[in-house]
Structure 1
Amino acid sequence: MPTMPVGGLIARAVDDAADVIVRNAKIYTGDSSRPHAGALAIRDGRVTVVGDDAEVAPFMGPATTVVDALGRRVVPGLNDAHLHVIRGGLNYVLELRWDGVTSLRQGLAMLREQAARTPKGQWVRVVGGWSAEQFAERRLPTPAELNAAAPDTPVFVLHLYQSAIMNRAALQAVGYTKDTPDPKGGQIVRGRNGEPNGMLLAAPSALILYSTLAKAPLLEGEDKKTSTRHFLRELNRFGLTSAIDAAGGFQNFPDNYGTVTELARDGQLSLRIAYHLFPQTPGQELDDLRRWIEMVRPEDGDEWLRLNGAGENLTWAAADFENFAEPRPELSGDYETEFEKAVRLLMEHGWGFRLHATYDETIRRDLAVFEKLAAEGLFPAGNRWLFDHAETVSRDSLDRIAALGGAMSVQNRMSFQGEVFTRRYGPGAAAEAPPVRAMLERGLTVGAGTDATRVSSYNPWVALHWLISGRTLGGLAIRPPQNRVDRETALAMYTRAGAALTGEEDVKGILRPGFFGDLAVLSDDYFTVPEQDIPHIESLLTVVGGRIVHAAAEYEGLDEELPPISPTWSPVAHFGGYQTSPRTGLPGVRQAELLGEAVAESEQHRQWRARRGLAPETASTPFDPCFVL
């Protein structure tokens, strides 16, 4: 691209010219040996130089793209350590996103508008990324409101792990009637006439919600690729350059992995993905694992798409549920038998795993299995393994995890469910859900993520805000200072720790020569922006492996071109993804604090002037006739 000779950067015909140079920046590298820099260069996908403008100048060639950061903050590319990116990509353009929407009134207006353009046979679906606590109204939509907004178009609105709201057209589309039995672990709420009223409740299993959603139409062919590419671009918008896909229900291997595999083959991924494999059928888990062990091996793939192991479930019977509106589920008393067989099989074949576990009661039982295998010399056998979620994990369990060489992956599920958790278990338990600082104090690797997209939003800055502030979307402070982390630690959890969970800590997570050229130029300085504004940060320019995959504001048009969104009636084509909301004003207490600071500073200035004879020794009282009695 044409470049002005600014600051000594003049194009030279050099053999080792950089592909991309970022200059005039405030770079936080994450590298303890050189944490700060002003410029860097990338060649062949890797960082080659980290320094200042003068140090990168010799590597500017005629074809080098020079990015002037204009003094903005640059950070290593973010890495979501628990994101359902493959499933999310296959459905992205079909979903109306309420992420960031500040009122139910606005959400219903979006829904009404989308229903009007949705063709017959298709649904309007709102799937995750929001909580009633983020709305000014602090409530869910009602079935009556969905019926009024969309009388004829099926509407399905998923709320966390707790419930779904459907209109009459959706109930008809899935065939729910007064004769439909309640599924195990779920409830179809019925009116006085016995007919379903549109509410589905997870009691406590969310399978009723997900199995109902699975009845909606799916994308086919090239539309799946287009949807996935636009979802990855949406993640790039927030500075994400990597993610660990945690698999999950209704994500079959190899069928549902075909789209990302084809995109990787064609060089069209804009996000690095390490994926897991999750047995889908209860009673068939061991057969699935044996079959996969014959097909693939962990770390098969390349820097863009690679297998990272099994999970986040190994056997269905060992999985607890995270619906905090319901009591903790009691798992079967003998699930360890099949669970041990699964873990033993993985260890014998060099497979690591991640394990969904919400409650300490589950974690203790799982650890007993691991300790039994460790006594036989079979665990962990050099394999990476970790617990996910762990909202109520105890200190004793953390000690046992550390002794077995495990790691942790935490998500900001409490941003969305903090209020309901607090109502059930009390503020004391909520203050430790999960005990992030206790994990870090034991030297555990703790990756951070979102668990998007069916519950949490995929916006990483919402998760970072939760780690730092301890606040929910509704503003409730549930985690005290002793269980929060500072901004540098939170960023490390979102960069270096995620790389360690996939065994890539020697090539990813920091900006150092030889490491991947993955970075984000931020809209605001993450380290200095007011705490309440952290969720509003976006990336203005995201680079993955030296490729500019997202560009906005001054950099608009520098990123790679995407095909148009298809189908044309897609909610994303009209509303986009995450809805950027206006920044809130300062809280009243903080306003008063700042006013007091300003008054004190003014008095210091007056005293300085008085000492130099530029002002009276005593402050004069301003005359205001309103105060003359």
Structure 2
Amino acid sequence: MNEDHTSGDDRQHLSRRSILRGGAVAGTAAAVSAFGGGAAASAAPGHNNGGDLRADLVLYNGRIHTMDARNRIANVIAIQDGKIIYVGDDEGAGRRGFPGNPRTINLRGRTVIPGLIDCHNHVVLMGNRPGYHTPLENAYSIADVQKIYRDRAKQAPAGKFITTIGGFHFNQFKEVRLPTLAELDAALPNHAAYISVGFTGPSVTNTLGKKFFEAASLPVTVGADGSIAGGTETGKATLALRRALTDDDRRRSTLDAMAYAVSLGVTTHLDQGAFQKTDAPSDGAAHEDNYTMNLPFLKVYDEGKGIIRLRINFLHQDTDTNVTTLTQRIQNAFQFFGNDMVRTGSIGEFIAASYFGGPVFLEAARKTAKAGWRVEVHSLTGSDFQTQIQAFETVNAEIGIADLRWVIAHVPRISEEYLNRLKAIGGGVNLTSYQYLAGTGTNAGPPFRTIVDNGIPAGMSSDGMQIAPMNPWIHAYYAATGLNARGNQINTGQQITRQELLNLYTRANQWFLGGEDENLLGSLEVGRLGDVVVLSDDYFTVPNEQLKQLHSVLTVVGGTVVHDTGDVR
């Protein structure tokens, strides 16, 4: 996105014309198979042929939760040229008046929802992960890990690394520990393994991985049981894997990340960037090159193979009041530039290194406000949101930000007073259930109930996948129950209903996207983009524990089937 850091060949390949080419999803190729499930997506259905106007896709006999302003439930939805042309109960109306025979799919009574919007995550980091990255979000024992890794190994050439970097915690395993070298060897006799918790470990590897790490240019200390200490040793291990990454590896991993996302039903992602890498062991799982990390994704879109909608925020961590990198970004980039599939976003989730406030933060906020850009910053403590909102109020008094929709993210400790102050200047909050993995106590937050009742613009996010899962259904479980991965109640009295939660992941979340997206995404209504998810079970009635196991059996992006397990054929 920043041409100053792009080679001439990349500039030519990723021109504005190529980014904008193709409209919604016309030309999207067949998706790669989902992780370990053998569920390949079907080829894209035909679009207009010889000028004939016809419906591309009709889905019928489903329980379709439109998530419109009235929360209507329909039986039929028809999509033509990427947009919804009919929602209702008459299958014939979905076809009527269109020459030819549109593709039709009998949903057999399944629950259907709009494609989910994740308004704060790091899917681009996931797409740049080294090795054959393998989410362990729904592993609940060492045996589960072994099975998931065996399945993943079927997709990776012998000798390659099977990896999991972030997005899980050993708290979710019944053994409450990482697997050992011997256990990973049993699952992967012909592949190296690397599993790392959170940003900086601890980590573990198997025999083939141990050999690789001990021979690295910065040798890693690996225990006899495969353990790698958190901090510097994990940093060296992750660095060794990153240094082995090729452009082809990144492109493949990008396709894998997209396939995983649509298998969960998440079709739109507002990516929040990364900490700028230094190529040193101090880099953690959340470090990458902010100026090149999007290139594998842009190449995939340029090839017509992008199957998620990506919105790209720009993270900046200037340390002086000149805010040099932020200034250059605003002068040389465009907010909300792109097409329905890939578009730039705003500044965030950091606008300065001192994210909690201070003179550099305040100057960064001023610069961004003067340019008319949106801002997103994150809050993790009981006081940082106070100094952030106070700075926002200062900038609002000086320049005016009421129409810019500035955002505080995560907000595990935010108070009603500061919710009201943020709401008064046109701001909003997005929420994440990251405390599910390792949170403790009885008020871990965020205060879902307080925020929903307050009426401030709010949306749901995952913050996946460093210290939080990407899986929205795990976040749904936590928001609905307040239980952490060990089954302990850590968010007393702040539960919300499943209907409220789904609204935060769909209709409410369009507020955070900006630009043209607000009237195109988030609900299943005529004229909006045809992003539809058919669920594996009824989200509204399954027992709480089964919420975590929900997934998509059919995902449609703009009328194109991008994920299909075959369950509704």
Structure-to-structure mapping, 1:161-180, within 5 angstroms: 161=199, 163-166=201-204, 169=211, 170=213, 173=216, 175=218
Structure-to-structure mapping, 1:131-170, within 5 angstroms: 131-141=169-179, 156-161=194-199, 163-166=201-204, 169=211, 170=213
Partner secondary structure for residue 553 of structure 1: coil
Could you say if the C-alpha distance between residues 124 and 38 of structure 1 is closer, same or farther in structure 2, counting changes exceeding 3 Å? closer
Q: Which of 358, 364, 367 is 1:336 aligned to?
A: 358
CA distance in 2, matches of 1:285, 1:84: 27
* Pair 1:294-2:331 in alignment: yes
Structure 2 counterpart of 1:77 = 115
* Pair 1:245-2:282 in alignment: no
> What's the TM-score once normalised by structure 2's chain length?
0.79
Instruction: Name the count of aligned residue pairs.
Output: 498
Partner secondary structure for residue 105 of structure 2: strand
Task: Render the CA deviation track for 1:471-506: whole Å, top value 9, x for unaligned.
Answer: 2222223223x3111111110111112211012221
Could you say if the C-alpha distance between residues 460 and 479 of structure 1 is closer, same or farther in structure 2, counting changes exceeding 3 Å? same
Q: Residue 150 of structure 1: CA displacement?
A: 8.8
Q: Residue 225 of structure 1: CA displacement?
A: 2.4
CA distance in 2, matches of 1:457, 1:21: 33
Q: Which of 473, 479, 484 is 1:461 aligned to?
A: 473
CA distance in 2, matches of 1:211, 1:450: 27
Counterpart residue type for residue 392 of structure 1: R
The worse-fitting range, judged by mean Cα deviation, of 73-82 and 447-456 is 447-456
Q: CA RMSD in A?
A: 3.2
Q: Confirm or deny: 8 A CA contact 1:80 1:448 kept in the other structure.
A: yes
* Pair 1:199-2:229 in alignment: yes
CA distance in 1, matches of 2:58, 2:92: 12
Structure 2 counterpart of 1:41 = 78
Larger Rg: 1
CA distance in 2, matches of 1:466, 1:337: 37
CA distance in 1, matches of 2:322, 2:237: 23
Counterpart residue type for residue 386 of structure 1: V
Counterpart residue type for residue 416 of structure 1: L
Task: Render the CA deviation track for 1:359-390: whole Å, top value 9, x for unaligned.
Answer: 131111112212222222x1415222111111
Q: Confirm or deny: 8 A CA contact 1:447 1:498 kept in the other structure.
A: yes
> What's the TM-score once normalised by structure 1's chain length?
0.72
Fraction of identical pairs, as percent: 26
Could you say if the C-alpha distance between residues 395 and 258 of structure 1 is closer, same or farther in structure 2, counting changes exceeding 3 Å? same
Partner secondary structure for residue 96 of structure 2: helix
Q: Which of 308, 311, 327 is 1:274 aligned to?
A: 311
CA distance in 2, matches of 1:385, 1:299: 15
Partner secondary structure for residue 255 of structure 1: coil
Structure 2 counterpart of 1:88 = 126
Q: Which of 504, 508, 511 is 1:500 aligned to?
A: 511
Structure 1 counterpart of 2:43 = none
* Pair 1:435-2:447 in alignment: yes
CA distance in 1, matches of 2:220, 2:306: 43
Q: Confirm or deny: 8 A CA contact 2:68 2:507 kept in the other structure.
A: no
Structure-to-structure mapping, 1:77-476, within 5 angstroms: 77-91=115-129, 94-107=132-145, 123-141=161-179, 156-161=194-199, 163-166=201-204, 169=211, 170=213, 173=216, 175=218, 198-201=228-231, 213-217=238-242, 218-249=244-275, 250-279=287-316, 286-318=323-355, 336-376=358-398, 378-380=399-401, 382-418=403-439, 422=440, 426-427=441-442, 429-430=443-444, 433-476=445-488
Return 5+ residue gaps in structure 2 as ranges: 1-49, 276-286
Task: Render the CA deviation track for 1:544-594: whole Å, top value 9, x for unaligned.
Answer: 1111111112456xxxxxxxxxxxxxxxxxxxxxxxxxxxxxxxxxxxxxx
Partner secondary structure for residue 364 of structure 1: helix
Structure-to-structure mapping, 1:443-592, within 5 angstroms: 443-480=455-492, 482-503=493-514, 504-555=517-568
Structure 2 counterpart of 1:19 = 56
CA distance in 1, matches of 2:67, 2:187: 48
Partner secondary structure for residue 469 of structure 2: coil
Counterpart residue type for residue 17 of structure 1: R
Counterpart residue type for residue 318 of structure 1: Y
Could you say if the C-alpha distance between residues 34 and 318 of structure 1 is closer, same or farther in structure 2, counting changes exceeding 3 Å? closer
Q: Residue 62 of structure 1: CA displacement?
A: 2.4
Q: Residue 396 of structure 1: CA displacement?
A: 2.0
Counterpart residue type for residue 452 of structure 2: L
Q: Residue 166 of structure 1: CA displacement?
A: 4.5
Structure 1 counterpart of 2:279 = none
Q: Residue 60 of structure 1: CA displacement?
A: 5.4
Q: Confirm or deny: 8 A CA contact 1:112 1:150 kept in the other structure.
A: yes
Q: Confirm or deny: 8 A CA contact 2:507 2:523 kept in the other structure.
A: yes
Structure 2 counterpart of 1:625 = none
Q: Confirm or deny: 8 A CA contact 1:18 1:59 kept in the other structure.
A: no
Counterpart residue type for residue 495 of structure 2: R
Q: Confirm or deny: 8 A CA contact 2:116 2:267 kept in the other structure.
A: yes
CA distance in 2, matches of 1:115, 1:502: 37
Return 5+ residue gaps in structure 1 as ranges: 1-12, 179-188, 202-206, 320-334, 557-629
